[in-house]
Structures are given as structure tokens and as C-alpha cells.
Amino acid sequence: MKRNWDYNYSDRNYANNNSYNRNRNQNRYEETQRKKNYIKLDDHNALINIHPYSIYNRPYPSISQPEELGILLSENRILDIESKKDQKEKYEKFLGIKYLVLPDDCTNLNFDLKIGLEKFVPHIPHQNGIDQLLKWILANKHKISGNDRPIKSDFVCWRGLLTTMSYSPYEKYKDWMFSIILHRGTYYMCEIETDAQKNERLNANEISKSFTYWGHKFETYITSDFPSESPSGTEVVPDQDNNFASVVTNRIGEHLLVYAAEIDCCLNQEHKTLSDYCEIKSSKGESKNDLNYERNIKFLKWWIQSFMIGIKHIKVGLRNDDGIINKIVDCDLDEILVPQRWWKENVCLNLMKEILDSIKKFCTEENHVYLACRDLNSNSIRMRKTIRNSDEFNQHYFLRECDEDNFVNISEKKLIYNLALKSNDPLVSKLNELSIDDDLKRAGQTWNLFRSQKGEINYFHLDIPIRLINLNCQKLNASKICWKRSMTSCTGRAISSGLKSPLTITQGHISNNHKMQPAKLEELESLALIKNQALNSNDNPRAIIRKTEL
């Protein structure tokens, strides 16, 4: 099968239709089996068969070359960079990504991966869902579709979700779940931690914790923030949330995808293409011959992760049982595809396409939550439709704060921002006081403007993904503020355990039950307290504060 990009699979027997040498009856039988893969039980339930996985052992689906749209820095990465003000311009020059810095001799090493293990705080998976990716898309919408048009993509998600569901045929003892929302023609998919995964994380033994830490610690020995800088090595305890990702677009079959993938580092001193990126892995062994490509399912995961992002090279640190890296070897992606392997990557890619096909068939109601899951040791994937406004629906609905479509250009943003600075409104003045200084930029301040249907600019909002809304926000009787947009104004509903009535912030007023009262100074001061302690909290909520009708 002819490929659209650099990976050449023409010499692989599974990639050549002639190698299958099936007669016409056999092809008809397989086509019938494919139609049985997706089974709609009723309007609320459907199944996708995983086994026998031989039904997916056919040539690759049509896959295009991934194309990078941009780089997404995590919130912790941004805070880390902004804390080093003297190097800010240097970080901007090198895009905030990390670079590979290998030792002169990669054969006689003594990298101790145990250093700092006692201080390591494990990452809680999926706690932020796809919030950061959605905000990146909103801020860079022109790269995907244009500012005034719906996003041109069939699916939006993280790469990890795609890889997890794709190797399900070979991971019978691992379960997974993700939610799906169809919005304006695009399916947004967000991975959810299952009960089994949560129990495994909370009850992880020391060996499991060590293996997790060792992989991240190895990266600190051979990566740095700048190409010419020495790695931090023993000095730093790795932070799993201090990372960067590449946002790419890709086509699988007839499906256009936009997904983000966490990247370990860049090979070259200047990043230009996806092939400049490099994966960093560690594995037990003394030489490259100890990498058991044929039998170990781990290498299938390596291959899919790299393939989906266009990475061709993997740096593998060979370690012993004591967590000491003795040698670093190169592993090209094609090397993993040894002829004797028992796993088949084309099975995984065809299953991925089958799942995407089935989602389009089953999930047809806009702005509704659907769930897809694979239970432990199950031979099928279940899809079901949640009941609207149920606890389950509300728990997994994740587009509330990312539903703004009509952004205006930068010059209009500056214009409205300058108008806001001159406003005598006490609330606007307080917001200006909060937003002008550089400290708030560390929390990711952005000003967004929106148009009405007639084209007038009718309001803006200050979007602050800060790290603290706790006791200080109790002065506003709110622990979280969620907003709904209307044509000419915008009101907010505050949610907290002790608040029975909605809280509304409008032009110069704060009110409960829509009984308008002048804004009180102490209420405005609580906003300043939020900013002042934003960088000192372990919580990670988000506040969206909007000023209406300028």
C-alpha cells in the first residue's frame, strides 16, 4: 500500500495487498465480519467487538503525515519559565521546549535514577481533562479553521486516548473510559480515570512507583531547557506536569483529527519539523540485544506513540535492577517492527479507525455526553448515551467554559483594552489593577472579545486560569464561577456547597437573586487576594471574570 509519508512499509508483508493472496470468497467473508464489528443494541447502547482481532489484521487504513499546528506548554511549564525573568527572551527564542544533550560517551554511564525518589509527587492522570488543549485551540483557532468559522476537525483529543484504545486487543487486563461530546460537527473526547485505575494508583507499591519515577528521572540526565545548557541531572526532582506538547492534525481514513501529544525533547538545536522530536525511554538490559521487540507489548506502545506524532528516533537508556543507567542506545522506529513479533501494529490502527467510525454512527446528538469504555478482560467496547442533566451527564460535560466562537482580531483587542483602562467603573478599575502587573501574566492572563450578530463589540472577558479560588473566594460566596453567554450581556452562576442562590457580576454590581447592589470594596478586594496567592496554592480551579456591556 502506498504511504503518504516518510515511513516506508512497502517491504512489510502486512502492508502489501498481494501478500494476503486471499480469494474473492475470503474477502467477502471478511467484509461481512467488519460490518458485525459495530452492533447498535438500542438508541442508548452499542458495542464494538475487539476479538477475534484477526478481523483487524488487514492492510493499514489510509493515514496521512501528521502536521504540526503549534506547541502547547503546560501551566506548570509556563509558571516555571515566567519565574526565570532574566531568561525570558531566551525561552521565547527556543519555544519553551526541551532539548537533547547527550554525554560524550554513552557507553560507560552511572546515572542513578533513585535520587530524589522520596520527594517525587506522582501525577494524577486526567485531572485537567482536555482543558489546556481546548484553550490552545481557542487561542489558535486561525490555524485550524479561521476565527469566524467552526473548527475544521472531526475529532479533538489527546494522543494518549488514541493509543490506549488502539492496543486494546493486546491489553486484556487494562480497562479504560472516555467521554465524547459532539459540538458543531466536532467530536471532543476526554479520557476518564476508571475505578480500577484509581485503586491501582492509590495502592501502588514501591516497585511500581519506582518504575514511574525512573523514566522521568532519566530525562533530567539528558535534556535541558536550551541546546547549549548542561542537563540538571541529580539536582532536580522531575515534575510530570512541567512539560510541553505538540498539537498536530492528521487524517485516519476519512476522519480528520486534531490531537496533542506530550513530547520529551528535540534532537536538534532548532526545531523545524516533527521528525526533530525524540522519545526518551528506559528499559532493563545490558545491550541493545536485550530489547525483546518480538515478545514485549511495551514496544508496541512505543511504536504507536511515536508513529502517531511522526517521531522516528527513540533514545533508550539501559538500566539494571538497581535503577542505574549504564548505557544509552539508539532505536529507530523501523527497528521495532521485527518480522518475528507476535503483535501486529496494523491491527491496532484498524481498530482505532473502527472505533472512530462507530463513534460517528452512534453519537449523533449535539452537546450530549456519551461514554465509551472497555472493561477488564472484555472482548468488546461499550458505548452508551447518558441521561441529560443527570449527575453522570454533568460530571463528564467539559465544554462549558470553552464554547466561545467569535474572536476578534488583535487590534480590536488592544482598542477595547485601552477603553477598559480609561473606565471609571469601580469593578473595571479593580480588574485593571489585577491585570496590568506582570504577576498575573504568570497565571496566564488573556483578554478575549466577542461580537454580537450585528457585529458590534458588546463585551469582553478576562480569563485567568489561576491556581487559587478557596477561602478568599468565600467573600464572594463562591468556590467556582461558571458563565453563560447571551446576546448582549453575560451573567455568571456561582457554585459552592454553601451557596443556594446564583451570584451575578455585571457592570459595577454584584448581586444575589438578581437584586442589584453596588459592588462593595471588600468584595472587589477578594479578587486581589486571589491574584496575590495564585502561585502559592496546590489547588487548580479556574475563574472566568467577565465585564459586560462597555
CB 173 within 8 Å of CB 377: yes
Check residue 466 and give its pLDDT: 29
- Other Cβ atoms less than 10 A from the Cβ of 476: the count is 22
| Shared domain check, 286 and 178 | yes
**Dist CA 65 CA 257 (whole Å):** 12
Are both 164 and 78 inside the same structural domain?
yes
Instruction: Give me the helices (H) in 44-150, please.
Output: 75-82, 88-93, 131-139
pLDDT at 78: 87
**Cβ-contact 293, 314 below 8 angstroms:** no
The reply to whether 187 and 308 lie within a common domain is yes
Whether 104 and 236 share a structural domain: yes
Last residue of a domain, one of 288, 316, 345: 345
Q: Which of 36, 354, 44, 402 is nearest to 169 (CA)?
A: 354
* Boundary-marking domain end, from 345, 360, 384: 345
Residues 297 and 417 in one domain: no
Task: Tell me whether residue 361 is in a domain.
Answer: no
Confidence at residue 537, expressed as pLDDT on a 0 to 100 scale: 40
CA atoms within 13 A on the CB side of 240: 14
* Mean per-residue pLDDT over the chain, rounded: 73
Q: Are residues 322 and 420 in the same domain?
A: no
Pairing state between β 457-464 and 543-548 = antiparallel
User: Contact, 398 vs 129, CB < 8 A?
Assistant: yes
pLDDT for residue 493? 29
Both 339 and 414 in one domain: the answer is: no
Q: Residue with C-alpha cell 522521568?
A: 216
Alpha-carbon span 134 to 476, nearest angstrom: 28
Residue 266 lies in a domain: yes
pLDDT value at position 143?
80
Q: Residue 121 falls within a domain, yes or no?
A: yes
Query: Of the residues 300, 328, 345, which one is the last residue of a structural domain?
Result: 345
3-state class (DSSP) for residue 123:
coil
Q: Report d(CA 44, CA 362) in Å as an integer.
A: 9
**What's residue 184's pLDDT?**
86
Residues of the chain whose pLDDT is less than 50?
A: 1-23, 26, 29, 403-550
Q: Is 401 inside any structural domain? A: no
Q: Residue 532's pLDDT is what?
A: 45
List, in sequence order, the alpha helices (H) in 50-168. 75-82, 88-93, 131-139, 159-166
The alpha-helical segments, DSSP class H, found in 21-158 are: 24-35, 75-82, 88-93, 131-139
Establish if 55 belongs to a structural domain.
Answer: no
Per-residue model confidence as pLDDT tens digits over 134-186 = 889 888 877 877 555 567 899 999 999 999 999 999 998 899 999 999 998 99
Domain assignment present for 353: no
Helix 521-532, helix 426-436: angle, nearest 10:
10
Q: Give 285-300 pLDDT, tens digit per residue.
A: 999 999 988 888 999 9
What is residue 401's predicted lDDT score, i.e. its pLDDT? 57
51 inside domain:
no
Determine, yes or no, domain membership for 56: no
Domain of 128 in residue numbering reads as 67-345
Q: How many domains does the chain have?
A: 2
